[in-house]
């Protein structure tokens, strides 16, 4: 409950794109940090995190003080001492302590409770020390190499071209459908807001000079109490119309679009069918965004069921993740921050290329932690847990009760799981 309460105000500060305000919000919400630290688009849990001075968090990285593994929630304090750098798209797991002047390289992940030594560079999943972090001996020579060498442009040697194809879904259809979903959903809620403001709120409250006597007026008290309820109701009505209009367009695109399979993007007949696939994907982007970033993110489950794009079981929770159509989840699943299971993959660019389009089937009680990746055609049994940054291949089939790590995602045996997690977890497989 504490995390949910803190999540939305922190998101609001990030939309203002003022790093100092975001750092201040994190401090107010419980992260011990100095103002000179740079979060840089990373994601931090709001509790049990302590930063020293001059910390730099790479873009897309995640600092986790809690993690879900099967039916357990593990919470451990994370400490980053002075002059620590966390590279882009890296994960710092709960209980990690990173000592002074140490670098965690990009696309790396620490183990739960891991201690990274002073003046070191760590890399990999899980992270291992690769070298010492020594000061640069000759900064002038390094700057000369970086800033004075001529970089040859690709356009000097390559002729980058792509064939023009006639689209079966005209571009203006994208514009009109997107405008109607975003703008049309405000028409009735906006009209009701106008009526509420000019027929009730302004004449009965804002037009009267303020005095303490007003607070003793029963009518004024009722207006004050009802105002937030009415505004929330109008906002929820807007969300309903977003889902309703998306559902209408989506069902038409789904009827005309292709079934799951592999498609040659260079053939005209496939290209026209894929236009409806791309339009269908386009239609889902704003509705998923507006529900997931609203004060009521749990309504995303209802929205996806209402639109008909996904089957979502009871108790399934989505964090700041990426959602595509044709991803079907069982009961009590969890998708963590920046988790991404895709329903498509393009094989090849600007040449002979295919588009693989297959959904995913996820069993009950499955956990997908931060920054995981799932490829098209994924099938996952019950009670499976994907540790941060675990990534599958196409058509992967993951067994029941497994704990998975790495790329391609591999199942941990008892000994490796104990080493990484720090506790004994029952796992029937080896």
| Pairing mode of beta strands 385-386, 97-98 | unpaired
Angle between helices 218-256 and 299-307 (to 10 degrees): 40
Distances from the Cα of 313 to the Cα of 103, 310, 332, angstroms: 41, 10, 7
Per-residue pLDDT at 414: 79
- From first to last of its 430 residues, what are the pLDDT tens digits of the chain? 777 777 777 777 776 767 677 777 877 877 777 655 667 677 888 889 898 888 888 888 899 999 998 888 899 999 999 999 998 889 999 999 999 999 999 889 999 999 999 999 999 888 999 999 887 777 777 777 777 766 555 444 444 444 444 456 777 888 899 999 999 999 999 999 999 999 988 888 888 777 777 777 888 888 888 999 999 999 999 999 999 999 999 999 888 777 788 887 666 655 667 788 888 899 999 999 999 888 888 899 999 999 999 999 999 999 888 999 999 999 999 999 889 999 998 876 555 678 889 999 999 999 999 999 999 999 999 999 999 999 999 999 999 999 999 889 999 887 777 777 765 555 544 4
Phi, psi of 322 (to 5 degrees): -110, 130
- How much is the pTM? 0.81
Please give the pLDDT value at position 34. 64
Q: What is the 3-state composition of the chain as percent helix, strand, coil, each rounded to the nearest 5?
A: 35, 20, 45
Pairwise CA distance, residues 49 & 11, whole Å: 18
Decide: 335 and 315 in contact? Cβ < 8 Å: no
pLDDT at res. 202: 86
SS3 readout for 396-430? CEECCCCEEECCCCEECCHHHHHHHHCCCCCCCCC
**Contacts of residue 428, Cβ cutoff 8 Å, sequence gap at least 6:** 401
What pLDDT does 161 receive?
43
Q: What is the pLDDT of residue 288?
A: 93
Instruction: Give the model's pLDDT for residue 430.
Output: 45
Task: Count the alpha carbons within 13 Å of 143 in the hemisphere toward its beta carbon.
Answer: 4
Instruction: Check residue 165 and give its pLDDT.
Output: 47
Which domains does the chain show, CATH number per domain? 2-134 (2.160.10.10), 308-430 (2.160.10.10)
Confidence (pLDDT) at 267: 62
Cα→Cα distances 138→84, 85, 134, Å = 22, 21, 12
């Amino acid at each position: 409950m504490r995390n949910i309460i803190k999540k939305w105000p922190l998101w609001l500060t990030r939309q203002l794109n003022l790093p100092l305000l975001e750092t201040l919000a994190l401090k107010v919400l419980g992260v011990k940090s100095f103002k000179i630290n740079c979060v840089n688009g990373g994601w931090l849990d709001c509790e049990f995190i302590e930063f020293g001075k001059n910390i730099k968090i790479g873009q897309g990285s995640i600092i986790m003080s809690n993690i879900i593994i099967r039916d357990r929630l593990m919470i451990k304090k994370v400490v980053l001492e002075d002059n620590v750098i966390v590279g882009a798209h890296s994960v710092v797991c709960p209980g990690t302590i990173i000592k002074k002047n140490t670098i965690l390289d990009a696309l790396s992940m620490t183990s739960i409770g891991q201690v990274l030594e002073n003046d070191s560079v760590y890399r990999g999943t899980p992270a291992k020390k690769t070298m010492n972090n020594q000061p640069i001996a000759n900064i002038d020579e390094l700057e000369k190499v970086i800033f004075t060498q001529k970089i040859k442009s690709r356009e000097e040697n390559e002729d980058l071209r792509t064939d023009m194809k006639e689209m079966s879904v005209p571009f203006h259809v994208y514009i009109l459908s997107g405008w109607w979903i975003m703008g049309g959903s405000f028409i009735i809620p906006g009209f009701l807001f106008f009526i509420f403001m000019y027929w009730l709120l302004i004449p009965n409250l804002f037009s009267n000079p303020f005095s303490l006597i007003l607070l003793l007026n029963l009518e004024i008290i009722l207006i004050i109490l009802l105002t937030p309820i009415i505004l929330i109701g109008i906002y929820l009505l807007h969300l309903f119309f977003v889902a309703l209009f998306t559902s209408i367009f989506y069902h038409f695109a789904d009827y005309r679009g292709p079934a799951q399979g592999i498609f040659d993007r260079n053939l005209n007949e496939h290209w026209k069918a894929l236009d409806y696939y791309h339009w269908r994907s386009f239609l889902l982007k704003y509705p998923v965004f507006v529900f997931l970033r609203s004060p009521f993110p749990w309504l995303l489950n209802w929205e996806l069921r209402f639109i008909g794009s996904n089957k979502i079981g009871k108790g399934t929770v989505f964090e700041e993740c990426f959602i595509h159509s044709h991803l079907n989840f069982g009961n009590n699943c969890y998708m963590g921050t920046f988790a991404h299971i895709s329903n498509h993959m393009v094989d090849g660019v600007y040449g002979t290329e295919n588009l693989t389009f297959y959904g995913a089937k996820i069993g009950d009680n499955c956990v997908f932690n931060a920054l995981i990746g799932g490829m098209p055609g994924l099938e996952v049994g019950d009670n499976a847990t994907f540790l941060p940054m675990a990534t599958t291949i196409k058509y992967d089939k993951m067994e029941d009760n497994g704990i998975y790590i790495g790329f391609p995602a591999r199942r941990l045996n008892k000994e490796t799981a104990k080493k990484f997690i720090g506790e004994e977890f029952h796992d029937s497989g080896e």
